[in-house]
Structure 1
Amino acid sequence: MYKLRMFNMKWQLLNYFLISSLLTVSSIFIVLEYYSRELASWEFRMWFLIAILAVCLTVGYIATKRWQRKVDELHVAMLELSKGNFSSRVELEPVEPFMYLYDAFNKMAASVEERVQLLQKLGEAEAIRDQELTENAVMEERRRLARDLHDTVSQELFAIHMSASSLPKILERNPDAAGTVMDQLIQMSHHAQKQMRGLISQLRPIELNDRSLQEALEKWFPEYCRNHELQGQLDVSLRDPISEAIEHQFFLIIQEGLANVVKHASAKGVRLAIYEREHQYVLQLQDDGQGFERKDISSASHGLSTMRERAQKLGGDVEIDSKLGSGTRVRVRIPRFTGQTGIVTKEREGEGHE
């Protein structure tokens, strides 16, 4: 079929060439046969050559104009397709050497239009699904906050209320014991305030769009530690920029990990380190709290499983080391591909962060 099409196109070109050749040969024959005497004049020869040249140019112009028009039609259709007009088609003529090109273009345009429509439908479905996931995430976060409020602040406030309610009777019956109750009230109110600050800090939005992960942590981490009376140490060592997805997941993991430290660890200090190796990004969060047994890791906190799920979304994993009385260390490893930044980095020397 391809040879037949090319054969038709070549024959059409040969036809134009044959017409031009016949006209030229016929003109020369006529001149030699009937105007042989006039050939002695240079003026006659000059006008004869001009006439032959004009005839050949006319035939060539007609041929190229017709072919140029066909090429222009295809070009215009391609421009329309590139501008997003996927319904653009080229009209086919029954006898046309360009017909196979037009037919191939029309089929390609129809295929592109069909695929774009499919992608649009998939995009709409994904947008709806993302909206549903977001709504589910919001509902889950509301449940978590309600649970945290009930387990922490609500119980503290109830204990304060009970102690404050019993204070008048204690003053009436045993004034000396009132001082102890007052100290308990002050301690419980301070603890409740600390718990409330923690919940508020979790709700406060942290923008990463206009800043890097390191810049956000340098502002947020000290404030978080100060609000929760922790001695914080931050060490971020990243030579190359990392993707927004990894930054976002790292930040959520850090928030979850620090929330666990505040709720369960009873720690005085915490150290956060983020660094890179040749094939890994590493996040390490270590506290000096009370720790827990390895067998209780799965049930120690819902946040630990959440951190593991976030890391696994990026192809990474979470390692948790903890002992009673020796604190807890959470280490997150995310694969690092040099193609993400376009720069091949050398392997970090030593294990100074380990």
Structure 2
Amino acid sequence: MITLALLASAHVHTSQGKAALGELHERTAQLDALDRLERTMADSEAAVRRFLRTGDATELPTGKITSNRVETTLDELALPAKGADAGPLQDLTELARAATQDLRFAVERATLAKQAGTVRLEAKNLVALKARIDDLRQQFTTRRETLIGDIDQRLTRARSTNIALGVFAVLVTVLLWVMLRRQRALREQIPHLLAGEDGRIASRVHERTAELQTLARAITEADEAERAQLAHTLDDRLRALLAAARGDAEWILRKLPEEFSAAFGARFDRLQGTLSDADALAGETADQLAPRTLAEQGLIAALRALGETLQERRGLKADIDLPDAVDLDDPRSHALLRVARAAVSNILRHAEASHVHLRLKLDEAEARLTVADNGKGFDAPRHARTDGGLARMRQRLQTYGGQLAVRTAPGQGTTVSARLPRA
């Protein structure tokens, strides 16, 4: 907005200066025309007076030539005349024509008289013409000086305006340069800012993930502790009570008279069988909660026992590929054994398989457990949405930074792979 105002002001000053220069040119032309008119009338008057005094007509201009010069000069004077100048110029024109007419009449009378010095020149109009020319010259000179001063003022204002425009343009240029430098600096900083922000976000995510893993590990270990406590209760206390109940039943049976023994012997036998079944169930449940083999002999023995159970009790062919020893800590060993047991449980319940492959491989970084069967398989995407067992296995492995992968399809068997960092 400021730039437009300054440009408009400069345009106005330029237009006004141009108009003033045009008027100055006109005033100068008028002054030149006045000078020519004065010289023409002075030369004509001098020639006429010589002619009247001496009768020598050699330098006498003809009336037609004098009239033409005067009219041409008057046209030059009157052409730009307007406003306040129109009246004085009209008076000048009438005086000039009257004076020219006086000169012509004087020459004509002298020519008719044919005697020099007998005719006088009527100079009243010439004197008035000279006075009018002097007045107009003074007016035109004053006007021209005024115009020159006005032009100087306009040039000064235009120069000031141009200086203001230049200063403003420089300030705008400097401001734009500063803004562009700031924008460029900001653009250069954006990748670093984003990288720093990404680093902070990644760090927070890593910290949060570590916190969640720590919390999940604590929950898992607390769950394992509760399982171990419950298994201890079942295996030690409940089975001891069941053993005591079987002993009491045998003692009662021996102490009864023979007639009572014969009458209640079969029922006592069923009682003994029920107590034995309850003892076996308590032992199996305790082993499921806290595998005794894992606690006493380690992961390799527990996995081998799981594979042998498939062969001996279920009649499945089991290929067992295990290392001689493993140095995993107890929580990771529990996690791998529970994945293996869950996979075997799914095989026994759903797979209708005849061949199972159980393998554990170790390297410096991780342990890799694989349980594969040749059963009927299943639709993994749909099954993953409804089976909580896979989710629990995956969650248990993720607690220690591990991963679970299931590869299966209908009619193509199932392979469960677990990867777990060693530390």
State the TM-score bracket (shorter-chain normalisation). Answer: 0.3 to 0.5
TM-score relative to the length of structure 2: 0.32
Between Structure 1 and Structure 2, which shows a larger proportion of helix residues?
2
- Relative contact order (C-alpha < 8 Å, sep 6+): which is higher? 2
Structure showing greater radius of gyration is 2
TM-score relative to the length of structure 1: 0.38
